[in-house]
Amino acid sequence: MVREAFLALKNGMIFKGQGFGASREASGEVVFNTSFANYPDSLTDPSYNGQIIAMTTPLVGNYGVPSYDVRDQWGIPKYFESDSIKAEGLIVWECCKQPYHYSMAKSLDQWMQDEKKPGIEGIDVRQLTKILRHYGVMLGIMKVAEEGEHIDLDDLKKRAADCPDPNVTRNLVGEMCSKENKVYNVSDHPEEHKTVALIDCGVKYNIIRSLLRRGLNVVVMPYDATWEQVVEFNPNGIVFSNGAGDPKDCKQAIKTMAACIENDMPTFGICLGNQIMGLGVGGDTYKLKFGHRAANKPVIDLTDPVKHAFITSQNHGFAVNKDTLPPEMEVYFICADDNTVEGIRHKTKPAFAVQFHPEATPGPQDTEYLFDKFIAMLK
């Protein structure tokens, strides 16, 4: 069946396509991602909460979607980054209707129907991406009609002009984080292993898995956990995860970060965790024009004498302002594309953070060594 579908941007631009997934409406920030594969990972990444993803690769869904029931040795879903689709909606040029892969359980279309998420295909995603690069990330509304229904374009365009900003009207991190502590023991003898606290701002499953795989017990804690609550577990170190929205909204996490550094707790920040570290030491953050969302972003290690370069997976819309960092902090990595901060570290204390995703999924595994670097700092 062919279903009418439209995307209306806040600036009045309208894109017409065909609907797939759920017949419903969604609103949020319209962003683009240049990854070529791993759409199940991207769609379930909690950092996309409040956002509509436009995939620039021309064909999406050709290997279907695996089952949540396939789990690793710790009981974590093996092929997803959370337990459901977190993006508000999906925009593609073509959604494959006859996928095939030995591990698939359903099609992308069926998966999005089951999870009540709308999708639009047939839109010129190249044109949309150029618009977002020129004007910056833009709010918008996408609507997929029921079969035989016609969409009132004037009404959609009017409501898109007043589209609410989820960064302002919603607690994007609070919606995604754990509401209570969760303990992952690496083995049946947890006392034989070190333990790290993980502040969950919308953590990807592969961050938890990357720590477990290296022999660490993991205590996942809500994003608003205090320093006093963290030290109750007597952890050997602490990790601040990725997440959605404006880092300045994570007020308690910023205070906890400051306490970690003040008390010489080995600390590792990832993505939003990098911005929280910047704010925790007294620096500032700002919103990027259109963000970094890709599996091929180049970064340069400024602390290495030969300036090693790495290809990284990224998904963020904010960055640390390097000019606001205090003297005891230094820029660790920069983006080779635009020289924005991709990592910071303390000059004398065991604390560092990166803006990219060393755990990948999707993307390259060039920087997985940073987990080992963190482990080497543990008490």
Q: Are residues 257 and 278 in the same domain?
A: yes
Q: Are residues 164 and 235 in the same domain?
A: no
Q: Are residues 186 and 301 in the same domain?
A: yes
pLDDT tens readout for residues 78-114: 999 999 999 999 999 999 999 999 999 999 999 999 9
Q: Are residues 200 and 163 in the same domain?
A: no
The pLDDT of residue 379 is 77
From 142, 170, 198, give the residue that closes a domain: 170
Could you list the residue range(s) of the whole structural domain that residue 73 is in?
4-170
The pLDDT of residue 304 is 86
Q: Are residues 116 and 186 in the same domain?
A: no
Q: Are residues 272 and 143 in the same domain?
A: no
> Cis (ω within 30 of 0) for the bond into 118?
no
From 170, 200, 230, give the residue that closes a domain: 170
Q: Are residues 210 and 73 in the same domain?
A: no
Q: Are residues 291 and 353 in the same domain?
A: yes
The tally of domains found in the chain comes to: 2
pLDDT tens readout for residues 162-219: 999 999 999 999 999 999 999 999 999 999 999 999 999 999 999 999 999 999 999 9
User: Which CATH number belongs to the domain containing residue 153 in this structure?
Assistant: 3.50.30.20
User: Which CATH number belongs to the domain containing residue 186 in this structure?
Assistant: 3.40.50.880
Q: Which residues are catalytic, by number?
A: 271, 357, 359
Q: Are residues 240 and 309 in the same domain?
A: yes
Q: Are residues 253 and 164 in the same domain?
A: no
Backbone phi, then psi, for 107, in 5-degree steps?
-85, 165
From 170, 190, 208, give the residue that closes a domain: 170
Q: Are residues 158 and 203 in the same domain?
A: no
Q: Are residues 123 and 190 in the same domain?
A: no
Q: Give per-10-residue mean pLDDT for the chain (379 aa).
A: 94 97 98 94 98 96 97 96 98 97 97 98 96 96 96 97 96 96 96 97 98 98 98 97 97 98 98 98 98 96 88 97 98 97 98 98 93 95
The pLDDT of residue 80 is 97
Distance between CA atoms of residues 240 and 171, nearest Å: 18
The pLDDT of residue 306 is 81
